[in-house]
Amino acid sequence: MHTHNVNVKTATRKTPERCSKKLRRIINKAHSNVACAEEAHLHYGEKFTRFDVCNYFIREHSPN
């Protein structure tokens, strides 16, 4: 086990407010992604299903 001096500021966890802001930003971007995809489907005359909603909602933050 290593016993290095650790700066207290770097060792503290993220505050709940900061995490909730990040989560809110992620969800807002996902909603925006769905809205843009829905608009594109409408423009090209393609059907926009519930599966598409789930797909575009998750696609924003999934690893490539």
- Each residue's pLDDT tens digit, 22-55: 889 989 999 999 999 999 999 999 999 999 999 9
Domain assignment of residue 8, yes or no: no
Indicate whether 7 belongs to any domain: no
22: in domain: no
Classify residue 10: in a domain, yes or no. Answer: no
Domain annotation covers residue 47:
yes
Sorted by sequence, the CB contacts under 8 Å of residue 36 that are 6+ apart come out as: none
At which residue do the structure tokens 């503290």 appear?
Answer: 12
User: What pLDDT score was predicted for residue 11?
Assistant: 52
- Non-local (6+) Cβ contacts of 61 within 8 A are 26, 29, 30
51 belongs to a structural domain: yes
d(Cα 50, Cα 58) in Å, to the nearest integer?
Answer: 12
| Structural domain count, the chain | 1
pLDDT confidence of residue 10: 57
| pTM of structure | 0.65
Domain that holds residue 56: 27-64
Residue 58 lies in a domain: yes
